[in-house]
Amino acid sequence: MSRDLAIDLGTANTLIHAREQGVVLDEPSVVALSVETGGLVAAGSRAKEMLGRTPGAVRAVRPLRGGVISEPDAAEQMLRWFTERVGMSSIVRPRVVVCIPSDITGVERRAVEETALRVGARRVYLVEEPMVAAIGAGLPVTDTQASMVVDIGGGSTDVAVIALGGIVASRSTRTAGDAVDEAIAEHVRRNLSLLLGERSAEDIKVKVGSAFPLATEVSTRVRGRDLVTGLPKTVDVGSAEIRRAIAAPVGTVIALVREVLDRCPPELAGDVLERGITLTGGGALLQGIDARMRHELGIPVTVAPAPLRAVARGAGRCVDDFAALQPVLVDGHRF
């Protein structure tokens, strides 16, 4: 029998949940392709190691940007490789649930659906990321009392207030983890005359990035290319400096949360004040992001357990129990 799958097709990482087995794949959303033939060279972790290091005959790309597919052919090859790794049957084709940002267009929805169908899905269901993030975080989405979730991914941030099994108010922005990386690289370039690669900027974010002052400030050593001499150069950067560098993207996310709260009905706003805000996604791992939101908004903020897998867990519950969670699914064939 074919196993139904849930796919969190993220800008930074792709996770696949197999029915009754849990998460069976967690790989970076990166693919390396031959320039001459367009054929697959590597995907996942191996391809990510190639970013910024490939020879002229190979290009390493991230086929999703801003939470949506930007290179359909590369995305299809990457997803095919991932589904083959988890043993998706080509004879008894599975049903597939795919997570999408809440504000993508009909054309972008269709691209996601067609990609999943081409790699072997029997039927594709689309579900909005903030809804499954809330389910994966264990929030009572069917209650009359509202819950608020902020899903900060690699390419997009989704904010939603959920009650009675539906999204009451939501907003999305393409400002997320990638924007933080870009802000770090731009700051280092402008202020330290050092050119960084994509992976180096991400390493700085993980090691010393913070959205709120730390009890003990830390620093790390960074290597890159000096823009003046063109030679390799090493500099030290501290958490306070990086906090200033990422102030703009962090401020955009908090402003989006404030905007959703402004649009929320008064009764549900009171529920959010009582229950607080739950953070999911890789961006929830940024040091001090919960403390910064508490400080700015005056509302309790908590980080979901294993926030990177919250969306995949929630989508996994959809495939584990289609009947119970059918109301939250959006049938892809409607678009």
Q: 324 pLDDT band (50/70/90 cuts)? A: low
Last residue of a domain, one of 218, 245, 272: 245
Confirm whether residue 120 is marked as ligand binding.
no
Quickly tell me which residue has 């049957």 as its tokens: 89
294 and 163 within one domain: yes
The enclosing domain of 209 has a CATH number of 3.90.640.10
126 and 69 within one domain: yes
Phi, psi values for residue 53, rounded to 5°: -125, 5
How many C-beta atoms surround the C-beta of residue 78 within 10 A?
31
Q: 209 pLDDT band (50/70/90 cuts)? A: very high
CA distance 19 to 322: 10
Kindly report, residue by residue over 12-23, the tens digit of the pLDDT: 999 999 988 889
202 and 71 within one domain: no
Q: 46 pLDDT band (50/70/90 cuts)? A: very high
Inter-residue contact 12 to 282 (CB < 8 Å): yes
Kindly report, residue by residue over 47-59, the tens digit of the pLDDT: 999 988 888 899 9
Confirm whether residue 193 is marked as ligand binding.
no
Confirm whether residue 13 is marked as ligand binding.
yes
44 and 114 within one domain: yes
| pLDDT of amino acid 105 | 85
Q: 153 pLDDT band (50/70/90 cuts)? A: very high
CA distance 67 to 307: 17
Q: 334 pLDDT band (50/70/90 cuts)? A: very low
214 and 315 within one domain: no
Host domain of residue 38: 5-131+311-334
In the chain, what percentage of residues exceed pLDDT 70?
96
| pLDDT of amino acid 1 | 47
Confirm whether residue 283 is marked as ligand binding.
yes
| pLDDT of amino acid 330 | 62
Which is nearest to 113 in space by CA: 122, 126, 128? 126
Number of domains in the chain: 3
Confirm whether residue 205 is marked as ligand binding.
yes
150 and 100 within one domain: no
Q: 2 pLDDT band (50/70/90 cuts)? A: low
Q: Is 308 exposed, middle or buried (0-12, 13-18, 19+ CB in 10 A)?
A: buried
Average pLDDT, integer, range 124-143: 91
Inter-residue contact 212 to 291 (CB < 8 Å): yes
Kindly report, residue by residue over 284-312, the tens digit of the pLDDT: 999 999 999 999 999 999 999 999 999 99
Q: Has residue 333 got a pLDDT over 80?
A: no
83 and 196 within one domain: no
| pLDDT of amino acid 118 | 92
Q: Has residue 332 got a pLDDT over 50?
A: no
Helices of type H across the chain: 45-50, 72-85, 106-118, 129-136, 177-192, 198-208, 239-245, 247-263, 266-275, 289-297, 310-320, 322-325
Which residues partner with 220 through β-bridges? 237
Contacts of 269 (CB under 8 A, 6+ apart): 261
Quickly tell me which residue has 């390396």 as its tokens: 32
Confirm whether residue 12 is marked as ligand binding.
yes
The enclosing domain of 87 has a CATH number of 3.30.420.40
231 and 272 within one domain: no
Q: Has residue 201 got a pLDDT over 90?
A: yes
Give me the chain's average pLDDT, please: 90
Phi, psi values for residue 164, rounded to 5°: 55, 35
Which residues partner with 170 through β-bridges? 160
194 and 234 within one domain: yes
Q: 66 pLDDT band (50/70/90 cuts)? A: confident
Confirm whether residue 282 is marked as ligand binding.
yes
Confirm whether residue 20 is marked as ligand binding.
no
Contacts of 251 (CB under 8 A, 6+ apart): none
| pLDDT of amino acid 30 | 94
In the chain, what percentage of residues exceed pLDDT 90?
69
Confirm whether residue 39 is marked as ligand binding.
no
| pLDDT of amino acid 166 | 87
Higher pLDDT, 142 or 148: 148
272 and 146 within one domain: yes
